[in-house]
């Protein structure tokens, strides 16, 4: 599976925060590559998980029996009420705005493997759809642009931090870790190269350890669970974010208790363990 497919698989397992989130996600999905025209509603996806989620939600939301799981609705009455509901839906709460963006990504989005490049895009059906999506992303300080490709309007994001942020939000904190890890590892390696003259083995070890720690911290923050962590863990976590390239010994001296290397390692390991446990809930 591709990186983009893996992310969509995780998103399809994400639970809705409120009843309206399902409607918002459907509006986003069918408003991207879904077809609400010519008296029919059609939705096609190369992802089985996406098709199953959209189909299940359409059936649940509108009490429609989709034969064989194929998303093709031709009944005039069903088409009319679905169009009226989804085309006029306004995502007012934060969770619904995120659900709409998630639906747009499931319906017509892709994201590149961060090891190669930072690029995320949404295939939209109209000028109005593109503007709405850009505005919604802007609500979360995500800077998105648009371009025209083969007659289609594409909304895209290039900044690694923005990509990781929106993936984390769409998945409730379960995804986005890979983007953050690659980004942080690159940044820390560059920083350490500038500041420290050491052998490459130690350089890679320190960069990878620090990037994993920072990725875990950002993942917990994206899931809005950081404030529920013990104060001693939040203290060392905030220090690691502020000083990504310093050693654990130096980090320990910055704490209120001035703990040693083993104490720093223990606290950061607890943060990583918690972040990893979130992925299996």
Assess if residue 128 is contained within a domain: yes
Residues 161 and 235 in one domain: no
Q: Which domain holds residue 37?
A: 3-165
Assess if residue 23 is contained within a domain: yes
Task: Confirm whether pTM is higher than 0.85.
Answer: no
What pLDDT, on a 0 to 100 scale, did the predictor assign at position 280?
Answer: 46
Residue 87 clears pLDDT 90, i.e. is over it? no
Quick: pLDDT tens for 22-45.
Answer: 999 999 988 776 665 556 777 777
Last residue of a domain, one of 127, 143, 165: 165
What pLDDT, on a 0 to 100 scale, did the predictor assign at position 38?
Answer: 59
Quick: pLDDT tens for 141-171.
Answer: 999 999 998 888 899 999 888 888 899 889 8
Give the total number of structural domains in the chain: 2
Residues 17 and 148 in one domain: yes
Neighbour tally for 69: CB within 10 Å: 11
Three-state SS for 202?
A: helix
Residues 225 and 197 in one domain: yes
Last residue of a domain, one of 142, 165, 188: 165
With a CB cutoff of 8 Å and minimum separation 6, the contacts of 279 are: 174, 177
Residues 160 and 28 in one domain: yes
Residues 16 and 101 in one domain: yes
Measured distance CA(137)–CA(122) in Å, rounded: 11
Quick: pLDDT tens for 91-110.
Answer: 889 999 999 999 999 988 99
Residue 6 clears pLDDT 60, i.e. is over it? yes
Residues 133 and 203 in one domain: no
Measured distance CA(281)–CA(277) in Å, rounded: 7
Strands 120-124 and 145-149: unpaired
Residues 155 and 200 in one domain: no
């Amino acid at each position: 599976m591709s990186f983009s497919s893996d992310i969509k698989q995780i998103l399809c397992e994400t639970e809705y925060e409120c009843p309206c989130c399902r409607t918002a996600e459907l509006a986003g999905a069918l408003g991207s590559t879904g077809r609400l025209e010519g008296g029919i509603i059609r939705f096609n996806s190369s992802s089985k998980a996406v098709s199953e989620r959209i189909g299940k939600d359409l059936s649940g939301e509108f009490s429609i029996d989709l034969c064989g799981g194929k998303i093709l609705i031709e009944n005039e009455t069903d088409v009319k009420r679905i169009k009226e509901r989804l085309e006029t839906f306004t995502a007012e709460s934060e969770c619904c705005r995120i659900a709409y963006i998630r639906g747009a990504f499931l319906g017509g989005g892709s994201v590149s493997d961060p090891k190669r490049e930072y690029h995320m895009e949404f295939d939209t059906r109209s000028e109005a759809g593109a503007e709405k999506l850009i505005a919604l992303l802007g609500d979360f300080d995500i800077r998105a642009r648009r371009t025209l490709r083969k007659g289609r309007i594409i909304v895209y994001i290039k900044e690694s931090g923005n990509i990781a942020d929106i993936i984390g939000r769409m998945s409730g904190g379960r995804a986005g870790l890979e983007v953050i890890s690659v980004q942080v590892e690159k940044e820390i390696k560059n920083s350490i190269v500038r500041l420290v003259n050491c052998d490459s083995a130690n350089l890679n070890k320190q960069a990878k350890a620090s990037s994993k720690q920072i990725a875990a911290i950002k993942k917990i923050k994206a899931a809005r669970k950081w404030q529920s962590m013990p104060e001693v863990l939040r203290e060392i976590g905030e220090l690691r974010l502020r000083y990504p390239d310093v050693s654990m010994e130096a980090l320990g001296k910055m704490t209120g208790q001035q703990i040693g290397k083993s104490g720093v390692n223990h606290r950061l390991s607890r943060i990583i363990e918690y972040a990893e446990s979130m992925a299996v809930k």
